[in-house]
Amino acid sequence: MNTDHPVIDTRQAVANFEATLEQFRQARTTDPKAPSGEVLESARVVMTTSEGLDALYARVSDVEAAGVFAGRDWAQPSILQPVLAVRSLRQSSAEITVIEALSELRLLAVASGDYFHPGISAEQARNFLTQVMALNLDLLAGQMSEADRERPQALGAIVQSLYQYLLVWLGYESILASLVDEVGRLLVQRPIQTDSIKEMVSQIAKCLFDPEIETAGTEGAARLVSALFGPTPGCREDPGLTEYAERLSAMDRVALADEACAFARAMHETGLVSAYHAVFLRHLRGQFDDLIPEALGLSMTGTDALQCYSALVYRLIDEAIFPETTQAVYGLFMLLERGALFASPVAAGLWRQIELKLSVATSETLIEVFGDAHPPRVYLLAGVLSILGLPLGVGQGNNPTCQSVIGLSMWADNDPDYLLQLVAWAARDDEVLTRFEGQQISSKGLDSGLAKEPPLDVDAVSLILVPHLDRLYMEMGRLCGVRDDDLHRWINPEFYGWWVGHGFRVVVNIDTGKIDDYEGFIRQFYASYHPYYNGNMPVIHPQPAGIAVTDSGGRYVGRHAITILRVALDAKDEMRVYFFNPNNDSGQDWGQGIVCAIQGNDELNGEASLPIAEFASRLYVYHLDPLELGDMEAVPAGEVARVMELGRTSWAVNV
């Protein structure tokens, strides 16, 4: 069922595994401590194939009989702990990850009645797997964190496929309450891409309407299902789009106004947009345009923007809002609420986008990913509305393109007309132009950047634009050549925009690879960003920064680009850094009790936040304005020492 690595032949991989397993079984008959490395590596290869998990599931009794679990904790499944199982799967070596995966396949067979184990009952096995799945709900949403994505030997993809496999067997009902909480947590971040979330809500709906499943106390689940499948009186029982369109034709103005308010309320409460909402807006167009502000739930600001640019907004609805692009309704709402149209180049750029002639390559790419229910330009225009409305909702998918994606977010927020220009070049001309230190460069003909394959699990704008940006960023690095500091110092201001600070600090000496003046690095960050030490200066423009990502055990994973948005006191008078993380889900556990918050501390939708000391402990590079430097000496020594201690005992333990 793992379809991430179809290039490996399942039959041959399974044959190799069987042979290796037999050799291991024979070796264990004479030597109880015979190493299991070869058989586990062989099992890992099988797990990367299209039907590998099915094949291993069918052979769990052979795996057990051969002694793969013997002499380890897994030999006694009743003592296994879900929390430790999560660590084994997601943070351990290939050998430990594979044996844990095999153990969970064994427990699945026990829970399903396909295998009897004297040490654990079917009910115990099911409860164990349910708890493990509930602890890994992020994998059920279809996205991997940096820690998962960066794991060697396809281990991240293997673990993700394992949980999808378990879900198919056990069903969503086994984790319904946890799933509802996870969907709510994801929606708080207001992502642009919601297909996987809507699929989870669909599974929740099946659970709610299954008479054999106990669903008492599931008001939150019902609210999610209602928002997607029946948000208004006219579509409460999910009648289907055709039937609903006929009902609308028979409604008077009062009934339509009730529908408008109900649609807006459901969208605002959840961030989800029902397909019925798109049908409703298209029905209003030309007949009841005055109800559109109510249908979107616009404030005075949004209504003013619509009234000033009504011809453009109505055309955008006509050209981009369909049941297949329904989530763009929320993007349109936020675009109006943010007042982005009051910048005249943005309105002009959207008119150009509406009429833009797409290249053959762009059209083919969009059709490949989004289908052909509508012309490709529809999906791209809908994507433009979404990213301009939700700059913090864009994500990088399972691709190493964080540098490009924070650019999309910054431009959508801070320089939207420039983003529209980039989209026009990429979509129409298959080329993006920029300059680096006075030299014009083009994305056409450049080698691939960090992403060797085009990203396909992303929104429409990222799909078309990120490959160009990725190549340009890499080319700027090449043009830098050898310099006396981290190359991001020169690349970022040229790539992102003039507002990126001209000052720059990196915590590690690029020649030695060792930490260089850690105390000065921390003090300068505080003096540049902390309001108490920088003259109460707010962050004027989003600033790119680099963090040293750690897993939940505090172990170093790799470097990652984020955007510092603001530094401010929360409601509890704690100074926090609010930032944008492009990794699809900002609520990550970085170990040492450092868990990125996404709500509850005055975060705006899409922001992550941490107390400033905890954030600084993972900081690797940052930009600053050298002409607005605060008082470095005023930063308390105890605060600096705490930051350094957190850093040196986590990602920098060997640096």
pLDDT for residue 1: 39
Alpha-helical runs (H) found in 292-371 = 292-296, 300-308, 310-320, 328-337, 344-355, 360-370
pLDDT for residue 216: 59
pLDDT for residue 623: 98
Span of 390-399, 476-485, 558-567 with lowest mean pLDDT: 390-399
pLDDT digits (tens, 9 = 90+) for 370-383: 999 999 999 999 99
pLDDT for residue 557: 84
DSSP state of 415: -
Report strand pairing: 575-580 vs 556-569. antiparallel
pLDDT for residue 400: 87
Answer with the residue of higher pLDDT: 629 or 419.
419
pLDDT for residue 456: 83
Distance CA 309, CA 332 (A): 13
pLDDT digits (tens, 9 = 90+) for 213-264: 666 557 888 999 999 999 999 999 999 999 999 999 999 999 999 999 999 9
Q: Which two tokens stand for residue 388?
A: 């301009």
pLDDT digits (tens, 9 = 90+) for 273-293: 999 999 999 999 999 999 999
Q: Check pLDDT > 90 for residue 202.
A: no
Tell whether pTM > 0.75: yes
Residue type, 612: I
pLDDT band at 142 (very low <50, low <70, confident <90, very high): low
Residue-averaged pLDDT of the chain: 92
pLDDT for residue 454: 83
Distance CA 312, CA 307 (A): 10
Q: Check pLDDT > 90 for residue 439.
A: yes
Distance CA 14, CA 17 (A): 5
pLDDT for residue 551: 80
CA distances from 223 to 140, 176, 197, 241, 269 (A): 20, 14, 14, 20, 9
pLDDT digits (tens, 9 = 90+) for 293-324: 999 999 999 999 999 999 999 999 999 999 99
Report, as an integer, the average pLDDT of 178-184. 82
Buried b or exposed e, range 315-340, using 16+ CB within 10 angstroms: bbbebbbbbbbbbbbbbbbbbbbbeb
pLDDT for residue 312: 98
Distance CA 493, CA 247 (A): 54
DSSP state of 230: -
Distance CA 490, CA 399 (A): 24
pLDDT band at 176 (very low <50, low <70, confident <90, very high): confident
pLDDT for residue 3: 38
According to the per-residue pLDDT averaged within each range, which of 447-451, 556-560, 636-640 is highest? 636-640
pLDDT band at 7 (very low <50, low <70, confident <90, very high): low
* Residue 620, burial from CB neighbour count under 10 angstroms (0-12, 13-18, 19+): buried
Spatial neighbors of 310 by CB under 8 A, at least 6 apart, are 289
Q: Check pLDDT > 50 for residue 630.
A: yes
Q: Which two tokens stand for residue 403?
A: 């540098």
Q: Check pLDDT > 70 for residue 2.
A: no
Q: Check pLDDT > 70 for residue 31.
A: yes
Q: Check pLDDT > 80 for residue 136.
A: no
Distance CA 141, CA 587 (A): 14
Alpha-helical runs (H) found in 545-655 = 612-616, 637-648
Report, as an integer, the average pLDDT of 602-629. 97
Distance CA 99, CA 89 (A): 9
Report, as an integer, the average pLDDT of 393-404. 89
Report strand pairing: 543-550 vs 439-442. unpaired
CA distances from 243 to 228, 247, 250, 285, 602 (A): 16, 6, 11, 19, 42
